[in-house]
Structure 1
């Protein structure tokens, strides 16, 4: 009987995902600049204006996208790849800029494929 009740809970747990990118970043609001550097690494750029300090963090990565097979062969035993279709490379990036006032993180903006 217990296993019957446990099964739906396990199924729901398997579908659960972790916190989103924005939720993970929001936990850093109010923290010091040193905490941001410890969590995100050294910023690539800093800028100061109107009593605020801005820290920009970047992430760049190469992504491999498989190309579809243009000439698949379907034989009596299922699908067989007739030729090499190759693949394509792309660049994914994420830029996050944090604003700080009085040494504390006020908020952030993100551009690109963050997550």
Structure 2
């Protein structure tokens, strides 16, 4: 029991450091794989473009996240019968984050990839 208690801080530190693979690491697993493997894993691309003997497949991910509303406003402002002290509660809102991932295909195999967006 005492040994378990001694190990708790180490286990907590280890758990805090545990993170999944980065986006670069996840996408790099597709390099060298076939276009069919890519589509099977990510779904049908949003756009396809061909240039200089390569195909470019664009995949798009979107997610909606809550945005913390600003603090309520308590201030001086015009009222219906003259100046008054007002309180306007803040309204919660959401934001849409996008991540575009483009894969370059040459000879039927993934050659490179790029990504951009605030949701990556």
- In the superposition, the TM-score normalised over structure 1's length comes to 0.78
Name 2:34's counterpart in structure 1. 32
Shift of 1:112: 0.2
Alignment coverage as a number of residue pairs: 106
Which runs of no fewer than 5 residues in structure 1 stay unpaired?
73-81
- Structure 1: how far apart are the matches of 2:9 and 2:23? 30
Shift of 1:10: 4.4
Q: Spell out the pairing of 1:12-27 with structure 2 (5 A cutoff).
A: 12-27=14-29
Which runs of no fewer than 5 residues in structure 2 stay unpaired?
75-86
Instruction: Report runs of 4+ in structure 1 exceeding 6 Å deviation.
Output: none
Find the structure with the greater CA-based Rg: 2
Out of 59, 62, 76, which is 1:60 matched to?
A: 62
Q: Secondary structure at the match of 2:45?
A: coil
Out of 49, 54, 64, which is 2:51 matched to?
A: 49
Does the 8 A contact of 2:62 with 2:119 survive in 1?
no
- Structure 2: how far apart are the matches of 1:64 and 1:14? 24
Mark the CA change 1:15 to 1:103 in structure 2 (over 3 Å): closer, same or farther: same
How large is the Cα RMSD of the aligned pairs? 2.2
